[in-house]
Amino acid sequence: MKRYKPPKTGQEDVFDMGYPGFALRVSYGGAKSWVFFYWLGNRQRRLTLGHYPSTSLGKAREKWRKAKEDVSCGRDPAHSDTTGDNFETVAREWLKRDQADNKSLGEVQRIVEKEMLPAWGHRSIKDVRRHDALVLVDAIVDRGSPTMARRTIAYIHRLFRWAVSQGIIESNPAADLPKPGRETRRDRVLSDDELKKVWKAAHKFGWPYGTALQLLILTGARRAEISELTWDEINGDTIELDGKRTKNGQPHNIPLSEPARRILEETPRIAGSEFVFGKPLRSGAWSQAKKNFPVKVAGWRIHDLRRTVATGLQRLGVSLQVIEAVLGHTSGSRSGVVDIYQRHSFDAEKRTALDTWGEHVIALIE
């Protein structure tokens, strides 16, 4: 199975021709799982039979035979007694029922698929013990990822707490688990020279990722806000996002400076697509694109651009309240009583700030 290399994006299914509907699904992140495609009624469905290498080919074929027998008898194998309480079934139900409105759903799903399912996906959730969670988290720490370990343990706890509330298990084995290490807050801000290098590299890289990076630099928006931007959300010289598209669930307007408007005017429109970049630019694809990004700036991340914009605005004399309004924050100076009673939108101040920032960025480039 090692010969099947991960695709650059998305997933690929390698079918076993001797076993109808049975395939090895290879994801861009490197995860491999056994899946069974079947028809029930008028719908095609997919059942995960386990993850490689924790589930061997022989074991996966045994599960395929049982699932195929269920289908032939008119039963849905996804809801049979043999799969109904396995960890993967419960985890995917949790993502669907409890996490659907989570603004970080993509991150949660990646943690489930990369960290939890390879270890526990084939097991009954009732058999996952406190020690299993500690072993899993310690392994993540040992590979040098304490921050990921802390996030993983948080989502393990939430998943099991939900399973208790649904009567699937009696108690939460992850309750009061110790949190490993301390999550490090990044404070990386690009210098003017580094920002200039990133901008020029983005221009060279071109559409879609280079163009998206330039918009991130000019707007200070979150990556998802630009990555999933639609033409309908652009109203003249303003990006207008409703609460479904923002992290805090509140509508957010982003004024477009003259350089930002010019970039959008030069952006091609893809026939039949509502998205500015043809399709949403997902996290995994961003990571792959950044590996090929032609710039030599050490230790920078895409989210550092947002912090760089905030710091740059402060250097240009913009007040903290206006900076937080530009970023779409409701914490800090805009939290608590201020957030409840102060309804001023700061739209005019935001436009002035981003116009000034746009002039500053272009001055750096030229």
pLDDT digits (tens, 9 = 90+) for 175-217: 888 877 665 567 899 999 999 999 999 999 999 999 999 999 9
Give the mean model confidence (pLDDT) for residues 255-282: 94
Q: In what order do the strands lie in the sheet with 43-52?
A: 11-15, 22-27, 32-40, 43-52
Rounded to whole angstroms, how far apart are CA atoms 134 and 153? 9
For 136, the token pair is 């899993």
Which of these ranges, 42-56, 151-165, 237-251, 327-341, has the smallest mean pLDDT? 327-341
**SS3 of residue 251 by DSSP:** coil
* Structural domains of the chain, ranges and CATH numbers in brackets: 11-76 (3.30.160.390), 87-165 (1.10.150), 192-365 (1.10.443.10)
C-alpha triplet 27, 29, 195: angle, nearest 5°: 135
| pLDDT tier for residue 156 given thresholds of 50, 70 and 90 | very high
pLDDT digits (tens, 9 = 90+) for 312-326: 999 999 999 999 999
Decide if pLDDT at 4 tops 80.
no
Question: What are the φ/ψ torsions at residue 5 (nearest 5 degrees)?
Answer: -85, 145
pLDDT of residue 182: 61
| pLDDT tier for residue 228 given thresholds of 50, 70 and 90 | very high
pLDDT of residue 343: 47
Q: At what angle do helices 347-365 and 258-265 cross, to 10 degrees?
A: 70
pLDDT of residue 334: 47
Give the mean model confidence (pLDDT) for residues 233-249: 89
Q: Which residue has the higher pLDDT, 212 or 33?
A: 212
| pLDDT tier for residue 253 given thresholds of 50, 70 and 90 | very high
Q: Helix (H) and strand (E) counts for the chain? A: 15, 7
Which of these ranges, 28-32, 143-147, 276-280, 332-336, has the smallest mean pLDDT? 332-336
Return the closest-CA partner of residue 51 out of 128, 137, 135, 112. 112
**SS3 of residue 168 by DSSP:** coil
Residues 6+ apart with CB under 8 A from 28: 6, 7, 8, 9, 10, 11, 284, 285, 288
Rounded to whole angstroms, how far apart are CA atoms 236 and 309? 23
pLDDT of residue 82: 47
pLDDT of residue 185: 64
